[in-house]
Amino acid sequence: MSDLTYLDSVILGIVEGLTEYLPVSSTGHLTIAEKVLGLPIDDPAITSYTAIIQIGAIVATLLYFWKKIVTMVKDFFGGLRRPELRSEPPFKLAVAVVVGSIPVVIAALLFKDLIKGPLRSLWVVAFALIIWSGVMWFAERRHAQLVARHEDKVGDGTVSPADGVFIGLMQCFSLVPGVSRSGATISAGLLRGLDRVTATELSFFMAIPALVGAGLYEMKDVNFSVVGAGQLVVGTVVSFVVAYASIAWLLRFVKNNSLMVFIGYRVVLGLVLIGVLAAGVMQAT
């Protein structure tokens, strides 16, 4: 008998799909949801379950951006053979994604025990939600200054390999529950002078290798007596459907809006979580 019910899997799938691409921390929200559902948040089987259902969100990204991804991959391999293609935006974007994905892989392997151990605490989630909100606020302010001073250089949609390196390094902070991978990468893109739509799309593209790698790595810890094969499928499918809708909504939202609404939400959630933990209503681990 599985410890994870189908209702649990639907709830976790919704939380994963909704928060994976919004800059509010999917890991943080999943940790909170697991605790509310009475699941052991430090159980390797539960941790691997939430990592694997992320693949549903990745499939949603692949389908939503299929044409762009095909062009990017084609131009990347074409640029390896033909130097004249290396100055084209799709090639530069592909290189940015590749080099930007390396730091988080190295960091995840080096600090895997810390990530799956001491950092799996709701205290960490609460403070990370609040502290990283400050980084996002600074990125928004800095981006506004860049637009005001160099409007002709902001918003052309061009991404460089140097952008990929910087954003990739910032993505490493997302290994801390509560920071948010999309929050880290979008903020980094804004700091590099990218427009919000380009920074957001790049965040989606960089999620593909990061989350697929995490999902494949965690498969070794799957315990079907705890999570159940059916529940794993349900969670992944629900994650896919909700993530697809989330991607479409977020891209429309960032065209004309800043990240301030997410920053406010993160701060409020972090403060509420601190209050709940301090009052002993909920245990941190």
Convert the pLDDT of each residue in 125-158 to its tens digit.
999 999 999 999 999 998 888 766 544 444 455 7
Kindly state whether residue 70 falls inside one of the protein's structural domains. Answer: yes
Query: 59 or 45: whose pLDDT is higher?
Result: 59
Q: CA triplet 215, 216, 222: central angle to 5 degrees?
A: 80
Question: Which one-letter DSSP state was computed for residue 221?
Answer: G
Domain that holds residue 244: 6-278
Query: 229 or 264: whose pLDDT is higher?
Result: 264
**pLDDT for res 2:** 54
Joined tokens for residue 184: 């880290």
Contact present, 250 and 21 (Cβ < 8 Å)? yes
Per residue in 235-260, pLDDT (tens digit) is: 999 999 999 999 999 999 998 899 99
Minimum mean pLDDT range among 46-55, 201-210, 214-223, 233-242? 214-223
Q: List % helix, strand, coil for the chain (3-state, nearest 5).
A: 80, 0, 20
**pLDDT for res 262:** 95
Kindly state whether residue 11 falls inside one of the protein's structural domains. Answer: yes
Looking at the structure of the chain, the number of domains it has is 1
Highest mean pLDDT among 55-69, 155-169, 257-271: 257-271
**pLDDT for res 52:** 83
Kindly state whether residue 283 falls inside one of the protein's structural domains. Answer: no
Largest Cα–Cα separation, the chain:
63
Closest CA to 141 of 259, 250, 256: 259
Q: How far is CA 179 from each of CA 119, 160, 183, 187, rounded to the nearest angstrom? A: 12, 25, 7, 11
Kindly state whether residue 1 falls inside one of the protein's structural domains. Answer: no
Distance CA 266, CA 162 (A): 29
Kindly state whether residue 285 falls inside one of the protein's structural domains. Answer: no
Kindly state whether residue 231 falls inside one of the protein's structural domains. Answer: yes
Kindly state whether residue 284 falls inside one of the protein's structural domains. Answer: no
Kindly state whether residue 97 falls inside one of the protein's structural domains. Answer: yes
